[in-house]
A = this chain, B = another copy of it.
Amino acid sequence: MGYDKVDELAINTIRTLAVDATFQANSGHPGAPMGMAPVAHVLFNRFMTFNPKNPEWLNRDRFVLSNGHGCMLHYALLHLFGYAVSLDDLKNFRQVDSITPGHPEAHDTPGIEVTTGPLGQGIANAVGLAIAQRQGGAVFNKPGFELLNNHTYAFFGDGCAMEGIASEAASMAGHLQLGNLIAIYDDNHISIDGDTACAFTEDVLKRFEAYGWHTQWVEHGDTDLEAIEKAIAAARAVTDKPSVIKLTTTIGFGSKLQGTGGVHGNPLKADDVQQVKEKFGFDPNKTFVVPQEVYDLYNKHASDGAAAEQEWNQLFEKYGKEHPKEHAELVRRMKRDLPEGWQKALPTYKPSDSAQASRKLSEAVLEAIHDVVPELLSGSADLTGSNNTRWKKAVDFQPPSTKLGDWSGRYMRYGVREHAMAAVMNGISAYGIHIPAGGTFLNFVSYAAGAVRLSALSHQRVIYVATHDSIGLGEDGPTHQPIETLAHFRALPNFMVWRPADGNETSAAYYMALTSRTTPSLLALTRQNLPQLENSSIEGAIRGGYVALEDKEAAVTLVSTGSEVSLCLESVKTLADQGLKARVVSLPCWEVFDAQDKEYKLKVLPDGIPIMSVEVLSTLGWEKYSHEQFGLNRFGASGPYKEVYKKFEFTPEGIAKRAVATVNFYKDVKPLRSPVNRAFQQLI
C-alpha cells in the first residue's frame, strides 16, 4: 500500500514509451499498454520476484501477456527493470531483426517466457507454467527447501476470453486447483470490432466461478492502485484455486480516443501523442523519455530480485549437500540434458518379433524409459486407452484432494481439450525442467493447430503422440481419418513429423524427439499391427530415411512411411513375379532426412531410377522425394481397415500396377535425376 507520485510517473512512463514506440514504428497496439500500465506496475513492482540479470533463474515468478499484441507494455517493463532490452531496442519496435517484434517471442527477447499474440494461447501457456511449478515442486521441494514456489501471473483480454482454447485451459486449471496461478482479465469492453456488446455479453467471472476459480472484480483499474494491490494479495492468499481478477480499465487511457476501438491496433495521431504527454506531465517534444526516478524505483526492485536469487542459490547449494541426488538431477534438467546412457533403455526389435501397432510400440517405449527419463510428463486428451500413453505404474497429476493422484504425478488427464493440451504442453516445456508428451488421434491434432505451430515457433521440446494415423483406423470413418494432416505439419518449420514403420523406427522417433532440445515432434502411429522389418534399425531411422530393401538392379524405388512400408515390401514380390526388381526406402521423418548431407540422400534416393511414393494420405509434398505418387487425395471410408485399404487399392497389386506405370513412363528420360537433386538451396 502507499502509492505516490513516483508510482504515477512510472505508470505514465510505461504509457508514453508504448505511445512513442508504436508511433515511431507507425504500427502496433498502444491501447492495451496504456490501459494496463497501472496493474502491470503494481504487479511487477510489488509482487513479482525476478532477477533481470538472470532471466533464466528457475524459481522466478512467471509473467505471461496473453493479449500479446500489447507487448510494448512488457517490452517497456523489461527495459525499465534492467533486462537486456535497451531503449534502442524499444526504438526498433517491430523492425526486422530487432528483439522487439510485433508480438512477444520467447526465444528472441530476454524476459519473455512464452510466445503469445495468437489469442488465448498465453493463458493456456500460463496453466502449463503453473502445472510445471506444482509438479516440479512436489518432486524437488524438501522440508526446509522450498526450491520451487513461484507464482505464474497472466494478463488476458476480451479476445482471449472469447477463444475456446482459453475456456479449455481455464476449465482444466480449475479442476487442477492451481492456486499458484493468478490471471488478470483486462475488462476494457473493446475488441477490434468495437464495443464487446456486439458479440460478447456473457458473465465472464461467473463462467470462471463455474470452472472452480476464485474471482474478484476491481472496478477502477485505471486509477485504484490500492484496490489492485489488495486484489492480487487476496488472490495470492488463495492456495487451492486459481484466481482471476476482472479489472475494468479504459483502453488507451489518456488518449483522445480512449475507450474506443480506434486506439486498439493503431498508433496515436501526432497531436494525440502530444496531448497525452502533456496530460501526463511529459515534454511533448521529447520521445522515449524515462525519468531517472523511474529507473531508480525499478532498479531497487530489480536488486531485491537479484538478492532473492542469491538467497535461492545459497539454499540450492545447501540442498546439494543434503539431497545430492535430487540436486544433480535438477541441475541436469535445467541444462535440458538427458541422463547419461538413457537411450540404452529404448526397445529394439528383430524381424522375428511379433507384429504390433505402432501405438503399442510407443507404449513400450514409454514403459521402458519413464524411469530413466523422469522429466517426461505423459498425458492424453481423454484417449489414454487408445493412445497408449500411460505406463502401467503411472500416477496421475492431480490435486491430492481428488484422491486420484498427487502433485508429483507424471500422467496428465487433459480431458477432451486438444488445443489447450498443446498450449499447456508449451507452457510446461517453457518452465524448463520437463518434457511433455500428449496424445490424441492424428486427425484431432488439427484442433490444436494454433498451439502446435507455437511449439515450433517458440522452440519447445513437446511431443505429440498422434495415434490412429490414417484410414487404417478403419470403422470410425472419414470424420476421424486424416488425409491432409501430415502435409499440414510437414509444412510447418522446425517441426518433426515421424511416421515409424515398426518398433525400431518408433524407438528412433522417440530418440530424436527427446534429444532435439528446441524442436517439437509429432509421432504418427497406427491402430493396426505392423510387422518388424528386416533392415530397420534405430541408427538408420534417426537419419530420417534409409534403405529398407536394396537391389542394385532395381528398376524402381518405392519410398514410403509407416504402415505402407511393409506393404511396399510385399509388393516387391508381386513386382518380381512380373519380372521387375524394386528397392524400398523408409522415410519416417522428412525434416530430419532433409538435414542429411546430399551424398547420403542420393544413396537413399539415387539418380537414374524412377521413384514412386506410397502413403495412404494426401500426396501433397511427396513430389519432393518421388517422381510419381500413390496416395489418397480424397476422404476415406468407414469399414474394417483391410476392406478400406482394398477399396482404395492399397494392396501389393495396387502398388505394383502403379510402379509398372511409373517405370514405363520414365524410360525415355535422360538423365533421370533424383528429386533430392536440386538447382538451388532453400532459405532456412
On whether the beta carbons of A193 and B384 are closer than 8 Å, the reply is: yes
Which among B102, B383, B664 is the interface contact of A479 at CB below 8 angstroms?
B102
Can you show 27 pairs from A to B with CB atoms below 8 A apart? A25-B475, A102-B476, A105-B479, A119-B416, A160-B416, A163-B164, A164-B168, A167-B167, A191-B416, A192-B382, A198-B396, A198-B402, A202-B212, A203-B212, A204-B210, A207-B207, A446-B449, A449-B449, A453-B484, A457-B478, A483-B492, A490-B620, A491-B620, A621-B621, A632-B683, A633-B684, A634-B684
CB distance from A133 to the nearest CB of B (A): 20
**Contact status of A493 and B484, CB under 8 A, knowing A118-B444, A164-B167, A382-B192:** yes
* CB-defined contacts of A679 to chain B, threshold 8 Å: 627-628, 658, 661-662, 664-666
A615-627 near B? 1/0 per residue, CB < 8 Å: 0001111011001
- Tell whether, in the assembled complex, residue A198 and residue B413 are in contact, meaning their CB atoms are under 8 Å apart: yes
Q: Are A487 and B620 in contact (CB under 8 A)?
A: yes
Q: Which of B490, B618, B621, B665 contacts A623 (CB 8 A)?
A: B621
- Say whether, besides A164-B163, A478-B101, A680-B658, A386 and B192 are in contact (CB < 8 Å): yes
> Does the CB pair A479–B413 fall under 8 Å?
no
Contact yes or no, B480 A491, CB < 8 A? no
What chain B residues lie within 8 Å of A627 (beta carbons)?
679
Interface residues of A in 167-213 (CB under 8 A from B): 167-168, 171-172, 174-175, 191-193, 197-204, 206-207, 209-212
Please report the total number of A residues contacting B with Cβ < 8 Å: 136
Which single residue of chain B is at the shortest CB-CB distance from A121? B479
| Interfacial chain B residues near A635, Cβ < 8 Å | 456-457, 493-494
Q: Smallest Cβ distance from A455 to chain B, in angstroms?
A: 12
* Binary flags per residue of A117-138, CB closer than 8 Å to B gives 1, else 0: 1111000000000000000000
Give the residues in chain B near A105, CB-CB below 8 Å: 477-479
A598 sits at the interface (CB 8 A): no
Does A637 reach chain B (CB closer than 8 Å)?
Answer: yes
- Whether the Cβ atoms of B28 and A475 lie closer than 8 Å is yes
User: How far is it, in angstroms, between the C-alpha of A197 and the C-alpha of B417 when the chains are bound?
Assistant: 15
Q: A192-B385, A478-B101, A635-B457 are in contact. Are A619 and B682 (CB under 8 A)?
A: yes
Q: Which of B163, B206, B620, B669 contacts A209 (CB 8 A)?
A: B206
4 shortest A-B CB distances, which residue pairs?
Answer: A164-B164, A623-B623, A96-B639, A665-B679
Q: Which residues of B contact A475 (CB under 8 A)?
A: 25, 27-28, 94, 102
A117→B457 contact, CB < 8 A: no
Report how far A117 CA is from B443 CA in the complex, Å: 12
Chain B CB within 10 Å, residue with most, of A261, A419, A683: A683
The number of times this chain is found in the oligomer is 2
Chain B residues positioned under 8 Å from A413 (CB to CB) = 193, 198-199
Q: Closest B-chain residue to A476, C-beta based?
A: B102
Asked whether A162 and B415 contact (CB < 8 A) given A382-B199, A398-B198, A491-B483, the answer is yes
Task: Tell me if A63 is interfacial: C-beta within 8 Å of chain B.
Answer: no
A447 to B475, CA, bound (A): 27
Binary B-proximity of A90-132 (CB < 8 A = 1, otherwise 0)? 0000111110011101000000000111111000000000000
Known A380-B193, A480-B103; judge A416-B447 contact (CB<8 A).
no
Contact A102-B638, Cβ < 8 Å, known A25-B475, A621-B487: yes
A446 to B457 alpha-carbon distance, docked (Å): 15
- Contact string against B for A residues 530-568, beta-carbon threshold 8 Å, 1 for contact and 0 otherwise: 000000000000000000000000000000000000000
Q: How far is the CA of A383 from the CA of B118 in the complex (A)?
A: 13
**A252 interface hit (Cβ, 8 Å):** no
Give the CA-CA distance A168 to B450 in the complex, in Å: 16
Q: Which of A591-625 contact B (CB under 8 A)?
A: 618-621, 623-624
Give the shortest distance, in Å, between A223 (CB) and chain B (any CB): 28
Q: Least Cβ distance of A122 to chain B in Å? A: 11
Indicate if the CB atoms of A201 and B212 lie closer than 8 Å. Answer: yes
Assess whether A414 is interfacial by the CB under 8 Å rule: yes
- Cβ contact of A624, chosen from B404, B454, B623, cutoff 8 A: B623
Interchain CA distance A115-B159 in the complex, whole Å:
29
Q: A159: nearest residue on chain B (CB-CB)?
A: B416
A414 to B164, CA, bound (A): 13
Partner among B25, B68, B120, B488 whose Cβ is within 8 Å of the Cβ of A491: B488
| Contact across chains for A102 and B447 when beta carbons are under 8 A apart | no
Q: In the complex, what residue of chain B is closest to A209 when comparing beta carbons? A: B206
Does chain B have a CB within 8 A of A340? no
A632: nearest residue on chain B (CB-CB)?
B683
B386 near A202: Cβ-Cβ < 8 Å = no
Q: A95-B643, A206-B206 given. 19 additional CB < 8 A pairs? A: A94-B477, A96-B644, A102-B475, A118-B444, A192-B385, A193-B382, A202-B210, A207-B211, A210-B210, A444-B450, A453-B484, A457-B479, A487-B490, A488-B488, A493-B618, A493-B633, A634-B684, A662-B679, A670-B670
With A446-B449, A479-B115, A632-B683 in contact, do A671 and B668 touch (Cβ < 8 Å)? yes
Once bound together, how far apart are the Cα atoms of A637 and B96, in whole Å?
6
Q: A620: which of B68, B119, B450, B620 is its contact (CB, 8 Å)?
A: B620
Q: Does A269 contact B (CB under 8 A)?
A: no
Closest to A204 in B: B210
Q: Is A76 an interface residue (CB 8 A)?
A: no
